[in-house]
Chains A and B, each alone.
Chain A
Amino acid sequence: MNEFIEARVGLRWGEQKPSYDVVIIGGGGHGLATAYYLATRHGITNVAVVERGYIGSGNSGRNTTVIRANYGIPASVRFYQHSLDLYRTLEAETDRWIMHKEKGILWMHHTEMGIRTERARAHMNQAFGAQTTFVTPEEIKQIVPEVDLEGGGRYPVLGGSYHSSGATARHDRVVWAYAEGAMARGVDVLQRTTATGIRVEGGRVTGVETDQGYISTRTVLSATAGHTTTITDMVGLRMPIRTHPLQAMVTNHYRQTFGPIVASAELAFYVSQTPRGEMLMGAEWDRQPSYSYRSTSEFLRSCAAKAITILPFLSDLKILRQWTGVCDLSPDSSPIMGMTPVEGFLVSTGWGTWGFKAIPAGGEQMAELIATGRTPDLIAPFRLDRFARDRLLADAGSAGTQ
């Protein structure tokens, strides 16, 4: 973050103190939102957020900024719909412009099987409070005239769903809004501070070692993404998390307004227009587990091919930039939130390729859990012990990235 922005946003950096009530590892959206809600909703301000780079330098600054709630299982729809509602009021609550724009998301299918699934999902979404309707190819053409219904001859558009409350927001502004709100209430956000160890005595967390010195605390939240297992290894906790890269790219600006977010389920492709007019797009996560931020030409080639299959006009645009994030993927493609067998050590992870939309609700619910010591009903299904209890939340089809 440059000095100009820092001065305007009004961030006040703290000095590391020897002791805090709560230490949050990871200064991304989820970590900062948790700190914000701890301060605003529960009056807990003796909190440190430890970030090894700068705030929002991980996946919070590398995603494609889609906010939606059209998930495939009730627990997820409830949770993401709540997050979507919190996003709607975030500008009013924080008094900061996050460039939130509701534009709807069109989710297309190219196979009969996909249509069946999508119809069921639209009904299920409505039953649990998300605005999703099934749409025919003719209706799709009305929503987005640029779509090639023939799909280049190979991926004909057979139907899909329209999720009218789909939205986008400016990712770094979301991070700054939460950081500023937390800092104003006394939270210390410590940049360029790497957590190097977690001290556990008698099965209970007693402190965090950082490269800037030791912090004594009884509550630690791991809110890191790709490096989740680096943190959980420090307390000897086994995690169902594997780190895979996810890539994205933007084109130069498209002169017309492109309305909704468009996604293709079978192609694993999604695109939206940024406020600057660029077309922002992404595809599936990379097959190889890796912590590497390296971008590849394979991604450019395959993503561009998918893009022009359903939106031929994109072939006239040029690719401006590409980048990569490293994602914490869980086996059932649902997040993992809550307490762990190590007393005082909590996790908010498994956000994989779907974490940005969940920042407000994830932060709010984790803050409530930390403040009250009880797991809120909304996130109870996402507990870590669901794997051992055989209560999986399989929802890979709703991620759109595989």
Chain B
Amino acid sequence: MKIECPHCGLRSVEEFRYGEIPRVPESITDPDARDIDRIFMKQNPLGMTVEAWFHDFGCRRWFRLERDTHG
């Protein structure tokens, strides 16, 4: 599997580190519950999603990546 780094081009996924973007649902209003959700709960989307990736063995910069988790 390869990932397109906006700075370095197409590189193997082994060079990258995954970073989740926490998205706490609006329906959770209690501040403590929002903290718990942000720390532990996951989006785990099935399909197209936007993620943060860090190019560990390359430019060492964060970037946003749109990816299909189904395919």
> A residues engaging B (CB < 8 A)?
227, 229-230, 238-243, 286-292, 294, 296, 298, 302, 331, 387-388
Contacts and interface: CB of A to CB of B under 8 A. Distances in A.
Interface residues of B, number: 23
Given A387-B39, A387-B40, 18 more contacts: A229-B42, A229-B44, A230-B46, A238-B37, A238-B41, A239-B42, A240-B40, A243-B69, A287-B14, A288-B18, A288-B67, A289-B18, A289-B44, A291-B46, A296-B1, A298-B12, A302-B14, A388-B40
Contacts, number: 57
A325 to B, nearest CB: 15
Contacts of A331: 40
A238 B70 contact: no
Contacts of B70: 291-292
A320 B12 CA distance: 24
A242 B1 contact: no
A302 to B, nearest CB: 7
B36 interface: yes
Contacts of B46: 227, 229-230, 291
B7 interface: no
17 contacts: A229-B42, A229-B44, A239-B42, A240-B40, A240-B42, A241-B42, A242-B44, A243-B69, A287-B17, A287-B18, A288-B18, A288-B67, A291-B69, A292-B69, A292-B70, A298-B12, A388-B33
B18 A243 contact: no
A288 B41 contact: no
A388 B36 contact: yes
A243 B70 CA distance: 11
Given A288-B13, A291-B46, A302-B14, A239 B41 contact: yes
A240 B41 contact: yes
Interface in B24-62: 25, 33, 36-37, 39-42, 44, 46, 51
Nearest to A386: B40
Contacts of A289: 18, 20, 44, 51, 69
Contacts of A387: 36, 39-40
A229 B45 CA distance: 8
